Structure formats: structure tokens, C-alpha cells
Amino acid sequence: MVVELGGGYRLRQAEASDHAAMEMVCLRTGDSGADATAREDDPRLLGLIYAVPYQVFAPEFAFVIEGPNGVCGYVLAVTDSAAYYAWAQREWFPGIAATVADPGPDKATWTRGSDWARYEIHHPDFTYPEALHPYPAHGHIDLLPEAQGRGFGRRALEHVMAALARAGAPGMHLGVSTSNHAALAFYERLGFARLTGPGAPTHAVYMVKAL
């Protein structure tokens, strides 16, 4: 499956051979949409938490945007958040945890930029309260600057939402940093609304949309 986006860019199914490129995109957008390279001492960990496992678990809903310079974005999703989190807890994170040391829960003792990620890998915290259950699908979309502002993100996310709807997902949610105003505005333009009220998570903004 290939969707031509114009200007030498296309949307295609992500493959295992794209994992390194997905890790790079995740790193370069990992600071609330900005480049996290200077912050992280281990450049792989962000992608191993937020990107690569989605392609492994649900390759049918994993896509990359590819341009003249290679992969410059991705959109990833799962239809059933509970099933994904159970798999990640059981199968994905233990394998990664075996390769990195747990820095412990005391942030005051953390000395390296990726210690937060190491702790997350050893103690994954999956946010899926009952308020999100009407929107059981969730995903991630990240684009490098070269692919932004050209409508590629909209087309990619609309493509994935259509695929999720065909698969029977009644709704979708995405977690967004409260400081990522560009992402919040982007999702609102696509018809997502902020989840509010009892049970809504407070550590981030959750955007929801019926499919």
C-alpha cells in the first residue's frame, strides 16, 4: 500500500527495516514536538517506548512518511489499547529492560538524560482509565520539520482512522503534552475534542474522537 502525497513524498506501510528510522523520528520530535537529541543520552529509548512496539504489535496500522531524504514521519495505531498494553507489559518491555539498568524511583539520583526512559521501561505506566474506554484505539503521529505544514499529517492520520474504523474501532484517543500547542491545534482541526470531566487524566491532554 502506497499513497502518493506529492513532492516526492509518500505514505507506505512501515516495516521492521524502518525501526531505526522510526527511532530517529521519535527522538527528533520527542521534546513536546521539538528535537530531544541534546536531552537524551541514549538515542534509541524514546523510539523503543513510543514507536517501534506499535509496528511490532499492529503492523497493519503502522505507516511511515517517506521523502527524498528517507523516512521523515510516521503514524501508528492499535485498535484495542487494553490488548496492546497487556502485550507490551508481558512481552515488549521485559526484553528492553534486560538491556538497560533501572535508575530507581528517586529522580534526585538520576544523572543521565535518558534515566527517565530507563525507569519507564522498567516500570511502564499505561494510562487507560474508564473515561477513555469509549475510544479504545490510540496512536502516535510524529513528523520531522521537512514534512510539516504540507497536509501530510492530516492525510496520514485520516488514512489510519479510516483503517481503524473498518476494523471496528468505535473511537480513538491520543495523549498530548500540555505544552505541545501545535499538536493540540492539529488534532482539533481533525475533529478531536479534549477529554474532560470525571476520570479524565490530568498529567496530559487526551484528545478523543468517535470513528
Q: For 90-133, give the DSSP string.
A: IIIHHHHHTTS----S-GGG--STTHHHHHHHHS------GGGT
Do the domain assignments include residue 183?
A: no
Q: Amino acid identity of 166? A: R
Kindly state whether residue 184 falls inside one of the protein's structural domains.
Answer: no
Residue 197 in domain: no
| Domain contains 69 | yes
Which tens digits make up the pLDDT trace of 56-115?
A: 999 999 999 999 999 999 999 999 999 999 999 999 999 999 999 999 999 999 999 999
Low-confidence ranges of the chain (pLDDT < 70): none
For residue 177, being part of any structural domain is answered with no
In a domain, 207, yes or no: no
Q: What pLDDT is attached to residue 130?
A: 94
Q: How many of the other CB atoms lie within 10 Å of CB of 77?
A: 26
Q: What is the pLDDT, as a whole number, of residue 32?
A: 87
Q: Give the residues across from 3 on adjacent strands.
A: 11
Residue 209, domain member (yes or no): no
pLDDT at 61: 98
Identity of residue 32: S
Tell me the whole-structure pTM to 2 decimals. 0.94
Query: In terms of residue numbers, what domain contains 76?
Result: 2-169
Give the chain's domain count: 1
199 located within any domain: no
Residues linked to residue 206 through DSSP beta bridges, in sequence order: 175
Q: In this structure, what CATH number is given to the domain that contains residue 130?
A: 3.40.630.30
